[in-house]
Structure 1
Amino acid sequence: MKIKTNMQVAACGWLAGGLILASPVPAAHAAPAAFAHPGVLLSRADLDAVKADLDKEPWKSAYDKLKNDARSQKTYAMQGPWATVSRNPNVRLGEWQSDMQAVYNLARMWYFTGDNDYAQRAHDVLLAWATTQTAFGGAEAAFAIGDSRCATAADILRATWPGWTAGDTGAVQNYFNTVFWPVLAVPGPLFTGSQGMEQLTGALGVAIFNEDATKFDQVLAAFQTDANTGLRGTLPNGEVVDTGRDQGHTSLYVRLAAEMGQAFWNQGVDVFSLLDNRILAVGEYYARYHLPDSAPSYVPFGGMSWGVFNAIAGAPRSTTQARTALNLLHTAYAVRKGVDTHWVDLYATDQVEDTDSFMFRRRGDTSAATPPAPPSPPPVATLTGGLTSADLHGAAPAGATAYAAGAWTLTGGYNGQAPAGSKPTIRFAHRPVTGDFTMIAKVNAVSSAGSNDAQAGIMIRDVATGQSVSQSYIAMTTDHRYGWNERGATAMAYSWMAGAVNPAPQLPYWIKMERIGKRVQTSTSPDGASWSGANSNDFANMPATAYVGLFASSAVTGQASTATFSDVAITGGDGGGVTNAPPTPLSVVATPADGRVIVRWTEAHGATGYQVLRSTAGGGPYTEVAAVGNTTWTDTAAANGTRYHYVVTASNTAGTSGQSPEDSALPAPSWVNVAFGGTATASSTGDGAASLAFDGNPGSRWHAATTAVPQWLRYDFGAGVAQTIRRYGVTSSVDSPSRDPSAWQLQASQDGSDWVVLDSQSAQAFAFKYQTRYYDVANDTAYRHYRLYISGGANVQVAELGLYANTGGAN
């Protein structure tokens, strides 16, 4: 393996899992030569596959819901149109959303039924808006556009309905360009997290429908590199910007990331594969958190609008979940690529198929796409000298700058003007930098000088010592807040936010500044690799050659504050020797599969390699099992039925870090639910037939006709068919928990008369509706009949009874 230098790895960590670069410019042209239609979220192959399965469960039940929706009717009463719609404040927003949902529903109904009246109604509603609405206002207009299925619906009609005209295409393209695109603001700095993803999703729909290659490439570049959102808003372990904010926005982020991947894929661009399948890592982390007793470790992480979050926010399953995302991820990785989707699949069994999600459930997919070329980050190297120091604008007392043994020390005074001003009174140790650059530093300490507002950080200025017009910085304070400021940007802003480490912010902490073209953005990190965006903006007048460096300010006139920095690196640095071993990786996530374990971990600043250590006992002792150069490794020597515990260390020429937190996984066979195609019966049936417990849809259920027990639920594979069941799953229903079964036996029979007990359970409880609980069975015999013989519970109901084997088909 070719080993990069320490600081090259810090810069090129983009490909290894970190995201150092933040560029609005694509690495290369990636838009297709000819755009595919339909090809936003649904291709023609997608539509045909769903249409072929509408008579099968769970597609059938979800399709029935779609057919019965008031917005799916040929007689749908349009709520608009209006010239102006706004979100936050909301003006005619509900009417617009209802009509756009109707267009999407009606477009699908047209394709599934071939009934021209559905398409005509969808067309009339869409074109009425396209030729009437002239503005989309409000602070959150982009979110509404990104949440809608407007572009997807328009693309279905355009590509599949003979009544659609070239004039219709032109009218909708104009609508998208003049009303939608101005508020989507790509490639401008985006909103944070899921909000930015809504912008990107809406923008990608516009680019595809309008066949605009420039917009397509801008969206792709922003998705890969914008400091606020997209892939930049994720960590290698699967955390996203919103993970510490709340689970509603996290769910939205995961869904939109999957939808972005799908839309790009339909145009031949495979972003699913980027950063070692990062979008899957996001889905797996999210799904695992929402499953019982499996919460993954968390790294302090956040984004520009919200600051840094100290912990995962929100109880598992506290909000509506993302079945659409899980279906998209299963199709993208398991179906197309044969990649394990363990947690995604487990979580999907706990969720109802709805009128949106069933569109993305696929049993097969042979389509293909090509990964885009990655962006090239500005390289950085260690900085051990070459800075010019000055006390700006009368800062007193006189300051000092020194470098020794890998550390920079700055002493800075103050004279009434804060670093945010155009004439800051600071100690500034700087150098000229031309063009794009990255600068990184770890702030180790900031002495108070009698004020907790003393600051130390990284600053860029259009002038070295005079009064600035364009200026930006990122800094830490004595009391461990971080702050940023922009002066002369397209939108001037200033903010202070709490730091990131519980129970209170602590130093040392890492800061970073990047410039790409007109854009300057800053970030903070607990480890120099897990970067949270702090601010991002475009500067119209920042000169090509600007002055960049470290600064310190006491915030008290006549008093001095001393700050120490280490691990300082910059584009064009002198590349002095590596003096520090990498920090310890902060998180490891182990995911089980059949005969293997997938291990992911967060990056460590300056690492040239990582060592994976394993033990069969919690807490070790551990044995090194792999040395790798990225942040993902698959343990193919793991045996099913053995729990393995993993830690990771990071290394470079200066040494090896400590061991990361531990995570464990229990590899197991790939279980397949074989309960389909047979006959279901029950001891009694109320308002839910026995077959509904075998339809793959936890939203339906078998319901006994009486409160008495015992009751039984039986499955017959059919004459000449027998299956060796070694695992079964029982899914709770939506109704009262008092109706969940609490005690039962799993029984098997060859003839339906003589029954053998395979498993017995008592005192069982389900934590939430639609929860699936799994039970392994020591069984090596194939039986034709199986039944759940229920002895505990009242008025019992079962949403799903899964019968699992190691071979067979899947429903």
Structure 2
Amino acid sequence: MFLFLSFVISLPPLVASFVHPGLLVSDSDISRTQKKIKANQDPWTTSWNTLTNLPFSDPSYTPSPVSAVYRSTWEDHTANAQLLWHDVAAAFNLGLRWKISGNTSCADAASNILHAWATTLISIDGGDDKYLTAGLQGYELANAAELLRDYQPFVDNVLPSVVEMANNVFIPMHYRWLNHEEPSEHNVLHFFANWELCNVASAMAMAVITDNQTVWDFAVNYFKTGDGTGAINNAITNIIEEPGTGVLLGQGQESGRDQGHSALDMQLFGVIGQQAWNQGEDLFAYNDSRILRGMEYFARYNLGNDVPFVPYTNGIVSYTEVSSASRGAIRPTWELLYNHYVMIKRMDAPWTTLYLNNTLDYYGGAEGGAGSWGEGSGHYDGLGWGSLLYRMDESDVIAPFPSKSASPTANPTSSASTTLNLAPSAMTTTTGASDQSAPVSHSATTNFAAVSTTPRTQTFASSTISDDNFPQLRGPKSHLRVPNKSLLEITWPQSEAIFKILYMYIYMYVCVCLLLYIVD
């Protein structure tokens, strides 16, 4: 009897747990990258060389922490948020160098940066734009820390301070913003989508590094069903039909504002989707793959083609036409988005495919990362390095794990991509309030790079991969094409779920045996 009781009591309760590392970068991403670099394949090798030659990736990098961060000048305080976004970019780059190369001097340098901020930062302050800093640099900081989760000196000496900073500074700000507790949020749709999306992304990331299921559930549930612009149904406001094909596209909440911030929304969709994916939650598929619909709308218009536009108002500003401001805006996110939907899920994304090719042309063949493609806040809103981390060829693709959020009709682009008219058509312009006159708060204006709107196919002069391996315009496919695989090829989120189920059955079996023993 005592043996039975001891065994049952020793079993911990079955609770949800997080995968580590499990935010933007997974161990499988690192393994694939290492294999490609070892084989001297492009674009992985080109991207790796760019990363390792940056000042922000040098182990001698010195951080510049401050106790209070201001995104813009506030009262007698000078804007200093660039100190945070530079240091966070360096911490991530150095952590990535360590994960790929095993060079512990890079891990130590990344750890030192995070320790400096965790033991110095007291507040992110100023006007409402402090929530932009909390969201954008928050998710980046958490991702840098997550890369070091299996570096024991960091876990022992720095992680507790990072967790304390997350709990004291970042997470309370995310709750306050997404719960609309600021006076300026009297209208829950007041702020543009990127303001809330970045706070959703950071709340998710902070939940993982603090192992806080409550915060995770709050962020994911807000993205699914929240009442503000950070909820997917408000960030993609309308589902419309593509001219000539009838394919459903998603009009973004910022489409009437400008394309630079619409591009930021696409980038944040990628962050939110990828962080959830690596924890076993498929937000990419949520609500009939609404993220993909938004990507295709954005890419079609920014390649020079017309799109339908449903007039939008939040009660403060109104737009009657899609905006041509910043048309062709570039952000390093399209490798992640393309490879998820097209390579992993085998879904049609013809405009995303063309936009990836267009952005790779701008970057010179390999998508850039933080610190590699320009200065200013907009160049540090995302961590990038998509060609290094997310590019896949056919040999890399295995079946995705079962989704907890997938829609039963998750192929929004079932029409043949070859029927699309790729010729650019007349651009439309924005009416209504401009950035300068709109009474809606917004982030500092950044002049994002604009590229040619002529669709093209990227080629690599020195690449060792064939044209067949490079993203091309694909014909129609079924929603999922699942390759044959053995049980050993199951991804970690799948194996963890299987372990939990087996654990539950063993636990129940022991309890039943104990009950029968007592009854007898």
Which TM-score bucket, shorter chain as reference?
0.5 to 0.7
- Are the counterparts in 1 of residues 358 and 456 from structure 2 also a CA contact under 8 Å? no
- Are the counterparts in 1 of residues 287 and 406 from structure 2 also a CA contact under 8 Å? no
- Are the counterparts in 1 of residues 260 and 325 from structure 2 also a CA contact under 8 Å? no
| Residue in 1 that maps onto 2:36 | 53
For residues 253 and 807 of structure 1, the distance between their equivalents in structure 2, rounded to whole angstroms, comes to 30
Q: 2:405 aligns with which of 372, 395, 416?
A: 372
| Residue in 2 that maps onto 1:241 | 253
Q: Residue 63 in 1 paired to residue 48 in 2?
A: yes
- Are the counterparts in 1 of residues 328 and 453 from structure 2 also a CA contact under 8 Å? no
Q: Residue 263 in 1 paired to residue 275 in 2?
A: yes
Q: How does 1:733-744 map to 2 (within 5 A)?
A: none
Q: Residue 152 in 1 paired to residue 143 in 2?
A: yes
| Residue in 2 that maps onto 1:287 | 299
Q: 1:338 aligns with which of 341, 346, 363?
A: 346
- Counterparts in 2 of 1:109 and 1:166: CA distance versus 1, 3 Å: same
- Counterparts in 2 of 1:373 and 1:65: CA distance versus 1, 3 Å: closer
For residues 53 and 410 of structure 2, the distance between their equivalents in structure 1, rounded to whole angstroms, comes to 47
Q: 1:308 aligns with which of 318, 323, 336?
A: 318
Q: How does 1:405-420 map to 2 (within 5 A)?
A: none
Shift of 1:810: 4.0
| Residue in 1 that maps onto 2:493 | none
Q: 1:348 aligns with which of 356, 376, 379?
A: 356
| Residue in 2 that maps onto 1:600 | none
Task: Letter of the 1:262 partner, please give it.
Answer: Q
Task: Letter of the 2:19 partner, please give it.
Answer: A
3-state secondary structure, aligned to 1:136: strand
- Are the counterparts in 1 of residues 358 and 451 from structure 2 also a CA contact under 8 Å? no
Q: How does 1:376-391 map to 2 (within 5 A)?
A: none
- Counterparts in 2 of 1:106 and 1:67: CA distance versus 1, 3 Å: same
For residues 807 and 125 of structure 1, the distance between their equivalents in structure 2, rounded to whole angstroms, comes to 41
For residues 83 and 240 of structure 1, the distance between their equivalents in structure 2, rounded to whole angstroms, comes to 36
Shift of 1:95: 1.4
| Residue in 2 that maps onto 1:322 | 331
| Residue in 2 that maps onto 1:493 | none
| Residue in 1 that maps onto 2:214 | 214
Deviations, residues 694-726 of structure 1 (Å, cap 9, x unaligned):
xxxxxxxxxxxxxxxxxxxxxxxxxxxxxxxxx
- Counterparts in 2 of 1:128 and 1:225: CA distance versus 1, 3 Å: same
- Counterparts in 2 of 1:60 and 1:218: CA distance versus 1, 3 Å: same
| Residue in 2 that maps onto 1:119 | 107
For residues 456 and 467 of structure 2, the distance between their equivalents in structure 1, rounded to whole angstroms, comes to 21
Shift of 1:65: 1.7
Q: 1:86 aligns with which of 52, 65, 70?
A: 70
Q: Residue 106 in 1 paired to residue 98 in 2?
A: no
| Residue in 1 that maps onto 2:197 | 197
Shift of 1:130: 0.4
Q: Residue 142 in 1 paired to residue 131 in 2?
A: yes
| Residue in 1 that maps onto 2:57 | 72
Q: Residue 169 in 1 paired to residue 183 in 2?
A: no
Deviations, residues 666-715 of structure 1 (Å, cap 9, x unaligned):
69xxxxxxxxxxxxxxxxxxxxxxxxxxxxxxxxxxxxxxxxxxxxxxxx
| Residue in 1 that maps onto 2:390 | 360
Shift of 1:92: 2.7
- Are the counterparts in 1 of residues 302 and 453 from structure 2 also a CA contact under 8 Å? no
- Are the counterparts in 2 of residues 100 and 150 from structure 1 also a CA contact under 8 Å? yes
Q: 1:297 aligns with which of 297, 308, 322?
A: 308
C-alpha RMSD of matched pairs (Å): 3.2
- Counterparts in 2 of 1:285 and 1:164: CA distance versus 1, 3 Å: same
Q: How does 1:430-469 map to 2 (within 5 A)?
A: none
3-state secondary structure, aligned to 1:312: coil
3-state secondary structure, aligned to 1:243: coil
For residues 68 and 802 of structure 1, the distance between their equivalents in structure 2, rounded to whole angstroms, comes to 19
Shift of 1:93: 1.4
Which region of structure 1 is more displaced relative to structure 2, 106-115 or 190-199? 190-199
For residues 770 and 801 of structure 1, the distance between their equivalents in structure 2, rounded to whole angstroms, comes to 22
- Are the counterparts in 2 of residues 273 and 371 from structure 1 also a CA contact under 8 Å? no
- Counterparts in 2 of 1:32 and 1:153: CA distance versus 1, 3 Å: farther
Shift of 1:69: 1.2
Deviations, residues 606-645 of structure 1 (Å, cap 9, x unaligned):
xxxxxxxxxxxxxxxxxxxxxxx99987666x7x97x5xx
| Residue in 2 that maps onto 1:224 | 224
* Greater strand share, structure number: 1
The count of aligned residue pairs is 373
- Counterparts in 2 of 1:133 and 1:631: CA distance versus 1, 3 Å: closer
Task: Letter of the 1:296 partner, please give it.
Answer: V
| Residue in 2 that maps onto 1:96 | 84
- Counterparts in 2 of 1:245 and 1:271: CA distance versus 1, 3 Å: same
For residues 468 and 79 of structure 2, the distance between their equivalents in structure 1, rounded to whole angstroms, comes to 54
For residues 335 and 328 of structure 2, the distance between their equivalents in structure 1, rounded to whole angstroms, comes to 20
Deviations, residues 127-168 of structure 1 (Å, cap 9, x unaligned):
111011111112222212332321111001113x23223452
For residues 213 and 31 of structure 2, the distance between their equivalents in structure 1, rounded to whole angstroms, comes to 27
3-state secondary structure, aligned to 1:74: coil
If asked which structure has higher relative contact order (CA below 8 Å, sep 6+), I would say: 2
3-state secondary structure, aligned to 2:115: helix
Q: 1:274 aligns with which of 286, 296, 299?
A: 286
- Counterparts in 2 of 1:238 and 1:120: CA distance versus 1, 3 Å: same
For residues 168 and 134 of structure 2, the distance between their equivalents in structure 1, rounded to whole angstroms, comes to 13
Calculate the TM-score normalised by the size of structure 1.
0.43
For residues 411 and 36 of structure 2, the distance between their equivalents in structure 1, rounded to whole angstroms, comes to 36
- Counterparts in 2 of 1:53 and 1:145: CA distance versus 1, 3 Å: farther
For residues 102 and 94 of structure 1, the distance between their equivalents in structure 2, rounded to whole angstroms, comes to 12
3-state secondary structure, aligned to 1:220: helix
For residues 455 and 460 of structure 2, the distance between their equivalents in structure 1, rounded to whole angstroms, comes to 8
Task: Letter of the 2:230 partner, please give it.
Answer: T
Calculate the TM-score normalised by the size of structure 2.
0.65
| Residue in 1 that maps onto 2:486 | none
Shift of 1:180: 1.0
For residues 336 and 630 of structure 1, the distance between their equivalents in structure 2, rounded to whole angstroms, comes to 17
- Counterparts in 2 of 1:213 and 1:349: CA distance versus 1, 3 Å: same
- Are the counterparts in 2 of residues 39 and 267 from structure 1 also a CA contact under 8 Å? yes
Shift of 1:270: 0.6
The gaps in structure 2 that reach 5 residues or longer are 1-13, 181-187, 240-248, 370-383, 423-449, 472-520
Q: How does 1:613-652 map to 2 (within 5 A)?
A: none
Deviations, residues 494-546 of structure 1 (Å, cap 9, x unaligned):
xxxxxxxxxxxxxxxxxxxxxxxxxxxxxxxxxxxxxxxxxxxxxxxxxxxxx
Q: Residue 40 in 1 paired to residue 23 in 2?
A: yes
For residues 15 and 353 of structure 2, the distance between their equivalents in structure 1, rounded to whole angstroms, comes to 32
Structure number, greater radius of gyration: 1
Task: Letter of the 2:31 partner, please give it.
Answer: D
Task: Letter of the 1:65 partner, please give it.
Answer: T
- Are the counterparts in 1 of residues 289 and 412 from structure 2 also a CA contact under 8 Å? no
3-state secondary structure, aligned to 1:85: strand
For residues 339 and 144 of structure 2, the distance between their equivalents in structure 1, rounded to whole angstroms, comes to 21
Q: How does 1:393-542 map to 2 (within 5 A)?
A: none
Task: Letter of the 1:140 partner, please give it.
Answer: D
| Residue in 1 that maps onto 2:510 | none
The gaps in structure 1 that reach 5 residues or longer are 1-30, 375-628, 644-664, 668-766, 775-797
Task: Letter of the 1:230 partner, please give it.
Answer: A
- Are the counterparts in 1 of residues 18 and 211 from structure 2 also a CA contact under 8 Å? yes
Identity value in percent: 26
Task: Letter of the 2:323 partner, please give it.
Answer: A
